[in-house]
Structure formats: C-alpha cells, structure tokens
Amino acid sequence: MTSRLCTQARRIGNGLLLVLVAACAAAPVPYEQQIASFRIEKDAAFKADSDSPIPESARATFQGLQYFDIDKTYRVPAALVESEMSTLVIEMDTTDGRRERMRVIGKLEFTLGGERRVLTAFLPESAANRERLFVPFRDTTNRQETYGGGRYLDLPRTSTGLYDLDFNRAYNPFCVYDPEYVCPLPPRENTLDVPIRAGEKMPAGKTSS
C-alpha cells in the first residue's frame, strides 16, 4: 500500500507532492533504539578497530562495555551561557600528574531531578576539531559504580546555544581500559552531588580508583 501511494505521489500535481511523499518516509527511530544501536556499534569498534583503547591482547575476549539501563530522565535540554570567564584558558589535571590546557567555552545550565545544575564546557586548546564541546564530570557513583576519575560527554556545537545533554551517552576515559592513555580529570566545579546512573559503568574486573 505504501509503495503504491509513493508512485501516485510522483504522478499527481505539485500541490500534493510533499504531503504524499512524506508518507513514504521511514518512521523516526525510537530514542531507546538509537542509544542501543550506538552501544552495539561502540562495542564492535572497541573489539575490532586498530585504534581501540582495549589492549590488543584483550580484544579477543572482550565482551562489551558495561552500561546503566537507558533512562530518558537523564536526557535534558541545556543552555550554554557565556561570561567573562569564557575563552579563559585553564590547566586541567590529568591522570599522569601533568596538566592539559583547556579553553573555557561557557556554563551549561540545565535542570535534573527538579534541581538547577551547571557544568562547565571546555575545548582542549590543542584540539584540531573545534566542533565538539568537552564536558568532563564527576558524580556520587564514582568509586562505586563508575570510574573514580569521572566520565565525559561530547556535545556537537550548535549556533543556538541550546544543547541536548544526554547522560545516557556518558563514557569512560580511555585510561580506564589502558593506563598508557593520559586522561583529563574533571575540575571540582564539574562535580554533581547526585548519582548519575546513566551511560557507561565501570568495566567488569576493573577497580574504581
């Protein structure tokens, strides 16, 4: 029935074309399915890609990452607010004791659990790709259910200042899987005093320190 409708749409005058062609388009993918597909693709990349953070000797037995259940309440709108601190360059602590220079882009303001929250968004000063904001954060699951050094979010930059802040996409630093990687540590200001039970958990068999 749908394919016949599509054929008719091409034969009818322009006035009905857009209405009928819209009926031929695929239905939007449900949010939960989008996240599930994203996780499947990431697990496959971690197991097989040459640049995977999983050590080569461990890839054959890699069973996939550990995740919290998908929870829509951890996906919230956020507004990027710039201030006199924006464009300031700070030195962020890293896992090897050195520091990485980060440019402050602004504050992401959002509401989670009925409370107003704020996270600072950064851009590595040396980054070649400046189209994504870097948002490292800590929460009260650290050292218990998630990595003690916090987790990350990457947000595609927008021209509107409005962002889709989705903690279901929160991920572990690569140093969780291989200590040869050097990872920035979230600054104190990016500590949330609530548990964020969304995104990646601490991998099985790893310590949370």
Q: What is the pLDDT of residue 207?
A: 61
Backbone angles phi, psi at 41, to 5 degrees: -65, -40
| Proportion of the chain above pLDDT 70, given as a percent | 85
State how far the Cα of 5 lies from the Cα of 19, in Å rounded to an integer. Answer: 11
Buried b (16+ CB within 10 A) or exposed e, 118-152: ebbbbbeeeeeeeeebbbbbbbebbeebbbebbbb
Read off the pTM.
Answer: 0.84
Per-residue pLDDT of 108-158, as tens digits, reads 999 999 999 999 999 999 877 778 999 999 999 999 999 999 999 999 999
State how far the Cα of 97 lies from the Cα of 166, in Å rounded to an integer. Answer: 30
Mean pLDDT check: name the lowest of 1-5, 42-46, 119-123. 1-5
Q: What's the rounded mean pLDDT across residues 53-71?
A: 94
**Whether the predicted pLDDT of 3 surpasses 80:** no
Is 109 in a helix, a strand, or coil? Answer: strand
State how far the Cα of 147 lies from the Cα of 179, in Å rounded to an integer. Answer: 13
Q: What is the pLDDT of residue 11?
A: 39
